[in-house]
Amino acid sequence: MNADQALRRDVALANRITERFGLSGAFGHASARIPGTNSFLIPTRRSPGLADENTLLVIDTDGKVLSGDGEPNSEFWIHARIYAARPDVGGVVHAHPPACICLTQIGQPHRIVHNSAGGFLDGVPEFERIGLIRSRELGDLLARRLGKGVAVLMRGHGISTALADVRTATVAACYLEESADLQMRMLTAAGGDASRLRVFTGEEAERVRDQLGPRVVERAWDYYATAAAQRPLGGA
Ligand SMILES: [Zn+2]
């Protein structure tokens, strides 16, 4: 398998992972920058659970479809404008995971409450404007809110993650939803009193920052990708 084929396979798996692990249903998409270019690989307009490595589109940061057959996902601007703003980013995942959406709608910021969330130590900003990101301008606004971060929560909508490669962006998306789900459960168990949560201090979180580092991501990707490849649709 050459590098292009391997990247296409990763993009298809990344999409299928988000569906397999409950971050997306009919909607959501993961993409990868084609190294050294301002263009990226992204599936056609279907559920990420149905992503096919043989039918990916190549789109550039101005939103122009350079190759591939089929219609792009309507929110491809998320990817285009994050890649435009962030030359360091090689992978973007956009999904609609329920616990993350719940956090935004009860006005709770993301907190680090377990080890796997250590990679979010520098904070996860929130994009407050509801609705879909279907224009270049909205893509730019979202990219600005993301800033130099690894993820952004989107109120009443979902999340986007942006990291050095599509594998890390995918693992980060899974961790962020796991983290938000735990935070919601803890809030419920604490009667909704956020002050009772034993949120990690900055020093504590620093000790687990490596959870989005290459060694841990490699192990996590191996699991997620194998599970998604074996059971492409429908979760558990
Ligand atoms: Zn969306």
Distance 126 CA to ligand 1 centre (A): 14
- Ligand 1 centre from 95 Cα, in Å? 6
Q: What is the pLDDT along the chain (236 residues), one digit of tens a residue?
A: 899 999 999 999 999 999 999 999 999 999 999 999 999 999 999 999 999 999 999 999 999 999 999 999 999 999 999 999 999 999 999 999 999 999 999 999 999 999 999 999 999 999 999 999 999 999 999 999 999 999 999 999 999 999 999 999 999 999 999 999 999 999 999 999 999 999 999 999 999 999 999 999 999 999 999 999 987 565 44
SS3 string, 171-182, reads: HHHHHHHHHHHH
DSSP 141: H
101 Cα: distance to centroid of ligand 1 (angstroms): 11
pLDDT score recorded for residue 236: 47
Rounded Cα distance, 136 and 62, in Å: 8
**In this structure, which residues have their CB less than 5 angstroms from ion ligand 1?**
75
204 CA distance to ligand 1 middle (Å): 33
What pLDDT, on the 0 to 100 scale, is given for residue 1? 84
Element (H, E) at 159: strand 158-163
* Helix intervals (H) in the chain: 3-20, 76-85, 98-105, 136-146, 166-189, 202-206, 214-230
Cα of 53 to ligand 1 centre, how many Å? 21
For CA atoms 47, 52, 53, 58, the dihedral sign is negative
Q: What is the pTM of this model?
A: 0.96
Q: Going by DSSP bridges, is the β-strand pair 126-127/151-154 parallel, antiparallel, or unpaired? A: parallel
